[in-house]
A = this chain, B = another copy of it.
């Protein structure tokens, strides 16, 4: 289901781009998906919903002011990193991670600047990766998030408590008896944690938002979250961290990116994506333990590292069919275009005989 009525509307265009920006966090260039996801966040906490909207608007507006490429803006690509950085800075400076606290004026100014900075860093990383036909993904958010979160915890004008949320498997009790709720809560939370929402129902609402635009996308998010649970359980990870979705959110994003979005979905690319999900799950633990002494959360760094390595690396592998970022729409479309192109080539070559 696409929904392009307002993309070029003089008055509502900006709203459309911003909603697409929310959808782009999970690769959905669709304002309706964005709206449903925004609703899911509001369902959990209006503060997070509000700050998500502020972030996406600031990121998009910065790109407009700096006269960035209009197509990128219109597809929401300048908004999703700003949206995430806003929510992240509130989440990790709030006394209650689950619902968030309203930011002070100082913190609000700081968040606006951080969201603006993500648009500059997005342009920068896109330029660097351009020749390799790989997208910036959420790296602008991860980098700006880390750099800005560090300082925010130390300025006396920002009254941040200690991190209210465990961010590493070490901080959970090592309980390894797994009961049923770990499945439906863990999977829902994994989707929710992409947006820092510790609410498994919100997670399933986000999944609905994804499915509106792409069922394969939603399916691969589920595959990623399930693979992560299986890996985490069989390697004896703490039950609390699995149920909170921490092992799964990077894997869910990796599954979506590699399973049809940036690679044409085939049996081979599906297995490649599943391997990526397995590695993402282990590396979440790895990066979490690495960052713990300095008190930084992993964000979606593991997803970006694994997906970059596997997408840049596939240039050397003929077993996979890449989709350049500029052509990536939905797994369904990517596959249809690929099959059509192959059919064309077959006709051409049979015509030549």
Q: Which residues of B contact A308 (CB under 8 A)?
A: 124
Q: Are A310 and B120 in contact (CB under 8 A)?
A: yes
In the complex this chain forms, how many copies of it are found?
A: 3
Tell whether A121 pairs with B154 under 8 Å between CB atoms, given A113-B275, A235-B106. Answer: no
CA–CA, A308 and B117, complex, Å:
13
Q: Are A128 and B132 in contact (CB under 8 A)?
A: yes
Q: Are A170 and B154 in contact (CB under 8 A)?
A: yes
Q: Are B237 and A312 in contact (CB under 8 A)?
A: no
Say yes or no: is A69 at the interface (Cβ < 8 Å to chain B): yes
Q: Which residues of B contact A272 (CB under 8 A)?
A: 66
Q: Are A121 and B313 in contact (CB under 8 A)?
A: yes
Query: When each residue 142-153 of chain A gets 1 if its CB lies under 8 Å from chain B and 0 otherwise, what string results?
Result: 000001101101
CA–CA, A147 and B290, complex, Å:
9
Say yes or no: is A216 at the interface (Cβ < 8 Å to chain B): no
In chain A between 312 and 343, which residues have their CB closer than 8 angstroms to a CB of chain B?
312-320
Interface size on A, residues (CB 8 A): 65
Say yes or no: is A157 at the interface (Cβ < 8 Å to chain B): yes
In chain A between 134 and 170, which residues have their CB closer than 8 angstroms to a CB of chain B?
147-148, 150-151, 153-158, 169-170
Say yes or no: is A5 at the interface (Cβ < 8 Å to chain B): no
Q: Are B65 and A289 in contact (CB under 8 A)?
A: no
Q: Which of A155, A157, A293 has the most CB of B within 10 A?
A: A155
Say yes or no: is A180 at the interface (Cβ < 8 Å to chain B): no
* CB-CB nearest in chain B for A149: B286
Q: Which residues of B contact A315 (CB under 8 A)?
A: 123, 127
Q: Are B313 and A65 in contact (CB under 8 A)?
A: no
A102 vs chain B, min Cβ distance (A): 19
Q: Which residues of B contact A155 (CB under 8 A)?
A: 235-237, 285
Ordered by A's residue number, 30 sampled pairs between the chains whose C-beta atoms are within 8 Å are A66-B272, A66-B320, A67-B317, A67-B319, A68-B318, A69-B316, A106-B235, A113-B279, A117-B279, A120-B309, A120-B310, A121-B313, A123-B314, A123-B316, A127-B132, A127-B312, A127-B315, A128-B132, A131-B131, A147-B287, A148-B282, A150-B287, A151-B282, A151-B285, A153-B289, A154-B285, A154-B289, A155-B235, A156-B176, A157-B235
**Which 5 residue pairs are nearest across A and B when measured between Cβ atoms?**
A123-B316, A124-B313, A156-B236, A151-B286, A150-B286
